[in-house]
Structure 1
Amino acid sequence: MPKVSAEHLANRRRQILDAAAKCFADNGFHRTSMQDIVKGSGLSAGLIYRYFTGKDDMIAAIVEEWQTRRTATLGAADLDTGFLDLLRTIAGEESAQERNLSMQAWAETVREPRIRALARQGVDDTVRAFGDTVPESVVRVGIAIYQGLLLQASWDDTLDVEAFVESVRGLMER
């Protein structure tokens, strides 16, 4: 059997996760079947199962990727700027699928311990990212602002994201 490159394996994994994310966003976690993901990816079920044990494994992989990306966004600039950029990003039109999936993932935290642990890790990583520069309670308020914006941006097409972000900037300056 010929060996495949790490890049090929990463691309296949990405193909599967992208198809799963689209299916989950369109139909929800519980209404999406593995067959939907097979069809959406254009790959065989056997190949998909070489990468993931099932839907919960895919959900966890998607959430882990988000955590990594959010941490990178926070670390890309000073923390205040990184936080405001994160707010703009999650509320943008291009993030609609991610917002939908995020809300579903939060709902999964009450059912699936692995997803709950990942959500908790995201909070803990954010608290650690701010270190001793900001009290933990203030960081948690920032997390609540992020979560609230994500929720509002999911169902309110009239939300003025830039006004929201500028209001948050004003609060941060106080």
Structure 2
Amino acid sequence: MARVSQEHLEARRRQILDGAARVFARDGFHGASMQDVLRESGLSAGAVYRYFPSKEAMITALATEVLGAVRAAFEPIAAAERPNLPDDIVHALDRIWSTLPYAPALLPHVWTETLRNEELSTVLQQGLGALLDLWEGLVAGYQRNGWMRDDIPPRDVARTLLACAQGFMLQRIIFGEADVTVLANGLRGLMTLRQPESVEG
């Protein structure tokens, strides 16, 4: 019997995940059944279960790929010799949006599923933790260059940037296309905020 090539195995796995992502993005994880995934992927139950024993396994695989794509988009920015400012960094969201391996509508389903799926929660925490590590390094660079006050923990700033990125992606899903320049302008405005001098009576 001829051996199945690695390329064939990967193509079949991709076919399954692509079909599952379309179903999950449309119906949600718990609104979709394995039968829905089978129909969407065009494969038999035996073929699908060979790769993924459950919907949960598919969900974890999808989340892992998305997190990998997000991190890959920011790694060149973090590695740059001269750190980019936050309002420039967020423009990478456009690249992420256009290169996500699956429909962006899948993202909120992944986030909410972490509340009931411990394995997925661990995957998400590790993936986002790696992204926070990149951004924490950027913030530390700002402080070394004297661009940012050094009494604020870099991790706190990184968490705030992550919140902005996640919130903006959610807004795009809810409201439709939104220019990332809106977020960049908002961050730029916040970066110019100055505390008013007290006026003595």
Shorter chain as normaliser: what TM range? 0.7 to 0.9
Pairwise CA RMSD of aligned residues? 2.4
Matches within 5 A, 1:64-103: 64-77=64-77, 78=80, 80=84, 83-89=89-95, 98-103=103-108
Inter-partner Cα distance in structure 1 for 2:122 and 2:2: 38
Query: How far did 1:173 drift?
Result: 8.1
Instruction: Name the amino acid aligned to 2:109.
Output: Q
Aligned to 2:109: 104
Distance 1:73 1:132, change over 3 A: closer
Instruction: Name the amino acid aligned to 1:153.
Output: R
Alpha carbons 1:90, 1:150 under 8 Å: kept: no
Instruction: Name the amino acid aligned to 1:146.
Output: A
Which 5+ residue runs of structure 2 have no aligned equivalent?
A: 140-153, 194-201
Deviates more, 1:98-107 or 1:77-86: 77-86
Inter-partner Cα distance in structure 2 for 1:32 and 1:152: 24
Higher helix share: 1
SS at match of 1:58: helix
Max Rg structure = 2
Is residue 19 of structure 2 the alignment partner of residue 19 of structure 1? yes
Deviations 1:89-117 (A, max 9, x none): 4556x86x633211011111110001111
Query: How far did 1:4 drift?
Result: 1.1
> Which among 147, 164, 172 is matched to residue 183 of structure 2?
164
The two structures have a TM-score, normalised by structure 1, of 0.86
Instruction: Name the amino acid aligned to 1:127.
Output: L
Alpha carbons 2:67, 2:128 under 8 Å: kept: no
Task: Give the 4+ runs in structure 1 shifted more than 6 A.
Answer: none
Matches within 5 A, 1:35-50: 35-50=35-50
Distance 1:39 1:139, change over 3 A: same
Aligned to 2:164: 145
Aligned to 1:128: 133
Inter-partner Cα distance in structure 1 for 2:14 and 2:84: 31
Distance 1:141 1:5, change over 3 A: same
Inter-partner Cα distance in structure 2 for 1:64 and 1:85: 22
Alpha carbons 1:15, 1:41 under 8 Å: kept: yes
SS at match of 1:98: coil
Q: How many residues align?
A: 172
Alpha carbons 2:19, 2:41 under 8 Å: kept: yes
The two structures have a TM-score, normalised by structure 2, of 0.76
Inter-partner Cα distance in structure 1 for 2:135 and 2:179: 27
